[in-house]
């Protein structure tokens, strides 16, 4: 029912580093078992440069940061009173407000805390929780305001400039319009197609298969199962799937806390491996996806590949929509599993 397909492609050449010996190198082309999206696993050992020291940049930008207090309440937009009487959604140190330069009709920005620069190792479950609960408040407010509306809700985070952030201060963005993004659509459609074909939802079955195989499964934090993707869409892709929950509106404090607990472990591992940043996206389903879909978070670490600043996103990703990685998912999972133990 769930198949892990891989094609091997072998290159033979005379190797200048081995006195022109005949050498073979294997590229593995994998297909994601649900979406069929390809990833190439390269036989290309790399040594990643150390992460840049952002202390100076953090100090230089703190004085003008729009997300630091008191500016966060002075320069960020406010909601109309019928959406949010207080103007902005707040929980503890988290603040959520409209995106001044929106991506869609419902487009929000939020900070987790007033702290300007937070290194990877300090992105703990406690740090994340206020931000997540604020996102839940926003999702529920949207539902109250327009219960019949179609909203493809995603919570997205570019952590640090290497991952696309324009501001050091950690912040996430919510996009919840009536039109999905390309991948959001692929995810929900392939999940629905699997259900139509097999009359069982893909997600609990995928987790059961990964658990049984054991070489990519990471562990469970409460109601959330974690595994490394077979065909990652980055150097590594980690997927956390929430049990029996398809929509963000159905998330509870307990489920957010389980999700945050897993992310804390993941970020601790990223910090140990000295990754430079990450992209994170949480994809919600619609009401009509309840049977076949499970709400999930996907995280890919980001790095600069060389001392000259080589970007890991190149023509493969930009123009072929195909991912490359030099890290074998099973080897990564073996290391990462210790963080989840």
Binding pattern for the stretch 122-141 against Zn ion, x by CB under 5 A and - elsewhere:
--------------------
Number of residue whose CB is nearest Zn ion: 65
> From the list 67, 202, 217, 270, which residue makes contact with Zn ion (rule: CB under 5 A)?
67
Alpha-carbon distance of 174 to 96, in angstroms, equals 10
Q: Which residues of 292-315 are buried (b: 16+ CB within 10 A; e: fewer)?
A: bbbbbbbbbbbbbbeeeeeebeee
Least gap, CB of 128 to Zn ion (angstroms): 17
The least distance separating Zn ion from the CB of residue 212, rounded to whole angstroms, comes to 45
If binding means CB under 5 A, how many residues of this protein chain bind Zn ion? 5
Q: Residues near 132 by Cβ (< 8 Å), separated by ≥ 6? A: 256, 259, 260
Nearer CB in complex with Zn ion: 68/300: 68
Q: Which stretch binds Zn ion (CB under 5 A): 162-170, 289-297, 305-313, 321-329?
A: 162-170
Residue with tokens 């080897």: 331
Q: Using CA atoms, how far apart are residues 177 and 154, in angstroms rounded to an integer?
A: 9
- CA-wise closest residue to 120 among 294, 259, 301, 283: 301
What is the 3-state composition of the chain as percent helix, strand, coil, each rounded to the nearest 5?
35, 25, 40
CB of 93 to Zn ion, least distance (A): 12
Residue 68 touches Zn ion, criterion: CB under 5 A: yes
Q: Find the largest Cα–Cα distance for the chain.
A: 74
Choose one: 41-49, 62-70, 225-233, 284-292; the region binding Zn ion (CB under 5 A): 62-70
Q: Where in 189-248 is the site for Zn ion (CB under 5 A)?
A: none
72 binds Zn ion (CB under 5 A): no
Tell the smallest beta-carbon distance from residue 123 to Zn ion (Å): 15
Among 65, 175, 224, 336, binds Zn ion (CB under 5 A): 65
Nearest to Zn ion of 116, 294 (CB atom): 116
Between 116 and 302, whose beta carbon lies closer to Zn ion?
A: 116
Binding segment (CB under 5 A) for Zn ion, from list 61-69, 219-227, 241-249, 302-310? 61-69
Measured from the CB of residue 110, what is the shortest distance to Zn ion in angstroms?
13
Among 88, 116, 171, 216, contact with Zn ion (rule: CB under 5 A) = 116
Stretch that binds Zn ion, among 108-116, 191-199, 219-227, 331-339 (CB under 5 A): 108-116
Return d(Cα 217, Cα 310) in angstroms, integer: 31
Q: Which of 57, 33, 23 is nearest to 203 (CA)?
A: 33
Radius of gyration for the alpha carbons in the chain, expressed in angstroms and rounded: 21
Q: Which residues within the stretch 166-185 sit at the binding site for Zn ion (CB under 5 A)?
A: 169
Query: Quick check: helix, strand or coil at residue 335?
Result: helix
Please tell me whether residue 282 binds Zn ion under the rule CB under 5 A: no
What does the alpha-carbon distance between residue 110 and residue 123 come to, in Å, rounded to a whole number? 15
CA distance 312 to 289: 34
Alpha-carbon distance 80 to 266, whole Å?
37
Binding region for Zn ion (CB under 5 A): 65, 67-68, 116, 169
């Amino acid at each position: 029912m769930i198949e892990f397909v891989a094609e091997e492609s072998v290159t033979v050449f005379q190797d200048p580093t081995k006195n022109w010996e005949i050498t073979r190198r294997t590229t593995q082309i994998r297909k994601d078992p649900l979406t069929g999206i390809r990833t190439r696993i390269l036989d290309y050992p790399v040594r990643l440069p150390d992460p840049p020291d952002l202390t100076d940049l953090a100090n230089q930008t703190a004085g003008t940061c729009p997300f630091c207090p008191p500016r966060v309440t002075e320069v960020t937009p406010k909601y109309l009173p019928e959406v949010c009487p207080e103007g902005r959604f707040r929980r503890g140190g988290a603040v959520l407000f409209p995106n001044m330069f929106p991506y869609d009709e419902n487009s929000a920005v939020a900070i987790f805390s007033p702290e300007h620069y937070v290194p990877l190792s300090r992105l703990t479950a406690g740090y994340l929780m206020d931000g997540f609960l604020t996102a839940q408040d926003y999702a529920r407010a949207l539902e109250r305001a327009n219960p019949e509306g179609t909203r493809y809700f995603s919570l997205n985070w570019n952590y640090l400039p290497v991952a696309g952030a324009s501001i050091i201060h950690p912040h996430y963005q919510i996009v919840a319009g009536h039109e999905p993004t390309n991948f959001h659509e692929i995810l929900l459609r392939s999940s629905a197609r699997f259900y139509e074909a097999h009359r069982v939802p893909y997600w609990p079955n995928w987790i059961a298969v990964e658990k049984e195989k054991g070489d990519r499964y990471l562990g469970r934090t409460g109601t959330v199962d974690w595994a490394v993707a077979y065909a990652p869409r980055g150097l590594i892709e980690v997927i956390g799937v929430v049990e029996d929950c398809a929509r963000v509106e159905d998330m509870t404090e307990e489920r957010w806390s389980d999700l945050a607990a897993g992310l804390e472990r993941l970020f601790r591992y990223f910090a140990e491996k000295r990754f430079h940043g990450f992209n994170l996206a949480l994809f919600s389903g619609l009401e009509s996806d309840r049977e076949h879909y499970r709400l999930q978070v996907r995280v890919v670490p980001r790095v600069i590949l060389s001392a000259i600043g080589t970007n890991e996103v190149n023509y493969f990703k930009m123009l072929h929509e195909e991912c490359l990685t030099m890290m074998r998912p099973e080897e990564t999972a073996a290391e990462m599993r210790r963080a989840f133990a």
